[in-house]
Amino acid sequence: IEAPIEWNGLEEWNKKKEQEKKELNTQQTTKTPKLQDTSLLPFFKSHFVLPTKNTGSHVTIKSDQMASFIDQFLNGKIERSMRSSDLPPRANSPFSPVLQLVGKSFSKFAFDPSKSVLIRITTPSCQLCEKTRPIYRRLATDIKEIIESKSATATSDSKAFAEQFIVAEIDVDENDLPAEATVLVEDIPDILLFQAVSSSDQNTPKRISSYSGPMTYEKIKRFLRDEFKSTNLPAFPLDISQHVI
């Protein structure tokens, strides 16, 4: 069964987006146009799977099984099934600057309170995803070089930021996201930032923000700088070009 995503924060999120639209209209500006209708993609739905027994080359489903399954679904007794690819062989490799996430590993990294995680949402059919991949990889490499002290401007504060910052991506053609992340995805590609929780705010949920601007190196850096400005976390360490408007 395929059903709409449910999340207890969805109503509040929709109100926030409506307010943003009003503000944008007032300023007579427009957001980056949607590149792909995410509501039509598999990850933007909840999936509920009927357990079956495989008897040889056929799967047998009896009418009473189906009736029971539908009844349990309607009464909220079936848990959502999360689609997930297998973990990549080098998912946690120190040699890869961009961490490849799958459905089963997404929450482990995204909701780790000690880490800030930047996650790019992609699909294999997205041409812009492929075109901008080097930009995203460059960002990940620059952050990684701070940790390895290859950057001439590396300081203790910049290293503190880099050590708690992960650059990752996930293919949503094959993987589902938790509801609270799914509803934030507006475009493909899209970028979500899951900010770490400072040691003094351990009981506070992670702040999740979405970047929907141009997929350029400088614009993404500026987004990150602004997101970390008013937090108790280390400041974003990479230099921002003053020529970017």
DSSP 8-state code for residue 39: G
Asked whether residue 85 is assigned to any structural domain, the reply reads no
pLDDT in tens, 110-148: 999 999 999 999 988 889 999 999 999 999 999 988 887
Tell me the two tokens of residue 238: 């990479």
**Residue 124: domain span:** 99-229
> Does one domain contain both 65 and 124?
no
Instruction: State which amino acid sits at residue 142.
Output: D
Same domain? 104 vs 225: yes
Residue whose tokens read 């602004």? 226
- 122 and 210, same domain (yes or no): yes
Among 187, 11, 197, CA closest to 110: 197
Nearest residue to 180 via CA among 1, 12, 2, 3: 12
In a domain, 234, yes or no: no
Q: Could you give the 3-state DSSP secondary structure of residue 166?
A: strand
Residue ending a domain, among 41, 74, 107, is: 74
Note the pLDDT tens digit of each residue in 230-245: 888 889 999 887 665 5
pLDDT, tens digit, for every residue of 13-61? 556 556 655 654 554 333 343 444 455 556 667 777 787 766 555 667 7
SS3 state at 193: strand
- Single-letter code of the amino acid located at 212: S
pLDDT of residue 212: 78
**What is the C-alpha separation between 38 and 59, in angstroms, rounded?**
31
Total domains in the chain come to 2
pTM of the model as a whole: 0.76
Dist CA 233 CA 202 (whole Å): 13
